[in-house]
Structure 1
């Protein structure tokens, strides 16, 4: 209909005029820190494969073994015949590792977050979120029946004031590590504020596998246990999907009432087999986290004098530029020099806060990081 055509055309034109158009770029594969595009290999600084598992031959073999044992797909939703013993074993392993009674598997972190909030929240409830939570959480809050309030980013005093305002059935939600700024939530303080006042939930997509003893994540590092923990498999696990870990009755409730779970085809059992192996790799291969720690020190030594440097103790290293056009130009020029980075622009980040989002993985070498730093320093001196 004309109304839809006009609306679509207008939105695309406006986005293009604002310099915010995004394009899908089809590459030919990512392997050991390198991205192949049009026959050229680039040092890849734009992914979330923090431990380098995505291209690990050991994990690839585990998935191939899973395909042999379980076939290609699950064939049905979990409540029909899509849930197999390997799914159950994966949940049991996650619970034993992270200290929960039960869990529910989802096909993405986005669906896990939305399914949980949609299923739990009713009109009489209050959702209290960190202002910089992921879009999946914010959108779920806006679309849910609950009243949503936001506290200033990592501002525990503001959260405390909100919770002291006699909120009805409050659920507090934060991330363990924030994906654009690479900073960590003050989880110990949040746990103290929420005690006897609110349920709380942590999405640890960018912390699990990287932080804590045996890679148990941000909450383990902080010594806290939220009521609900979302573990995403698309980052340090090197695969995809997610799990929501919680009490047994809450997991049963989500399995019954979370529509993303009830009405979606279950994760392929071969994938669950590979995820189970990834879980073991994360717990036993400490060298991957040790290598990341070394690379983070190299990054600090190389970049800390450059304008735009932001210190973080996570593999996410935002390099602030300011204007979107400048960030795009820098990303393009760095690509010409063999470094693949992504310019992050509004609406993902606030106006005037465009940046290069640099992420480190265990597949990088110190030389990769030093080379990127020198190239970026030269471009900044040239006024690009």
Structure 2
């Protein structure tokens, strides 16, 4: 590298320095190497560990039907399409998949992107631009904020899940207005007050986009996500989702009206100027969607949410802080425990040390710190799968609670009854 200024900047970057030091001393919670299939037990760097850091919520990543779907597409179309959808990259499998997504979501159309990240970038930047306004929840995913910047629209962030703050921003917005929220927030696993948000969008003539990346295939009567679960799917203009989480494949999509989807076909740069997803991923996604729409999909959804409730209640009973202050209750007033259970530590160094102790005892969870969460909100992110066993969850509760107790961070145990 010829630029000394650039080299100096890299060498004095605190995050890069921390990454190198932590890696050298085997303390880095990131970039750990998986050596087996994504399942409840994974070989991580030579040791079998209970996998509680994966987004494989429905357990479809290694499901025989999903693997067969990938294999069939690979045999028919080869390893890659070698081009963008705009040119030679559209195959009939794309058309079948988009038609099935639209039918599943009850929308006029759908469009498939190579990744979920690109779906958000492409969708938002295709729909708003200079002179318009994007109003976005402060807890929204990084891809949403990057998309807002790419669009060059005015960006107005409102405090996480605070409807009154959203209305303040809407009342001062200009041009075409797009409100963007997550259906399920990926760090704390909490839900937005979506009914109230949709009502405000109607009041201020704003379009509503919901990122269902972590809720599609897991929540809702037909498992299309949180908008459906709250009964307002028809009030959401843009429904984004991923194949790479509950659906056990790779890629992203948007479902909506023909106008919305055509705007993306013609203006979404992340759709127009990138090679289309590999056929195997499309075949796996199609098989996973069909499975999600079956009775087995419903049964897997019940299992993963039951596992989440079991782990959440077990940790809470042991005095572990698994609280989510902003979680929105369901329409019937009950609390939804999603497949993402937060273990709040708050102190960065303590959270990292706790992560390593838990990891060394054979349990893989995710460590989250700023900017993935707010400053001073470091946590362990625990993700459940449909195929986790009660024995695995009991082992996890025991290890996490004892490690946290060793750091003096247990709260008074909550009087909850543990149930599947």
Tell me the TM-score range normalised by the shorter chain: over 0.9
**Residue 380 of structure 1: CA displacement?**
2.2
The correspondence for 1:202, drawn from 210, 214, 218, is 210
CA contact (8 A) 2:128 2:176 kept: no
Question: Between Structure 1 and Structure 2, how many residues are aligned?
Answer: 384
Higher alpha-carbon deviation: 270-279 or 124-133: 270-279
TM-score (norm. length: structure 2): 0.87
1:304 equivalent in alignment to 2:316? yes
Equivalent residue for 1:270? 280
TM-score (norm. length: structure 1): 0.95
SS at match of 1:245: strand
Matches for 1:188-227 after TM superposition, within 5 Å: 188-196=195-203, 197-225=205-233, 226-227=236-237
Equivalent residue for 1:232? 242
**Residue 143 of structure 1: CA displacement?**
3.7
Structure 2 residue runs without a partner (length 5+): 23-27, 325-335, 409-420
CA contact (8 A) 1:69 1:270 kept: no
The correspondence for 2:4, drawn from 2, 5, 8, is 2
CA contact (8 A) 1:318 1:358 kept: yes
CA contact (8 A) 1:319 1:357 kept: yes
Higher alpha-carbon deviation: 91-100 or 291-300: 291-300
Equivalent-residue separation in structure 2 for 1:304 and 1:125 (angstroms): 44
Equivalent residue for 2:67? 60
**Residue 73 of structure 1: CA displacement?**
1.1
CA contact (8 A) 2:10 2:16 kept: no
**1:20-67 alpha-carbon deviations (Å, 9 max, x no partner):** 876422220234311202332100010101000012122111211111
Q: Compared with structure 1, are the counterparts of its residues 117 and 293 closer, same or farther at alpha carbon in structure 2 (3 Å cutoff)? A: closer
Structure 1 residue runs without a partner (length 5+): none
1:87 equivalent in alignment to 2:94? yes
SS at match of 1:304: helix
1:356 equivalent in alignment to 2:380? yes
Q: CA RMSD in A?
A: 1.9
Matches for 1:1-384 after TM superposition, within 5 Å: 1-12=3-14, 15-16=17-18, 23-165=30-172, 167-196=174-203, 197-225=205-233, 226-284=236-294, 285=296, 286-305=298-317, 306-310=319-323, 313-383=337-407
- Over 4 Å off, 4+ runs: 12-15, 17-23
Equivalent-residue separation in structure 1 for 2:267 and 2:250 (angstroms): 23
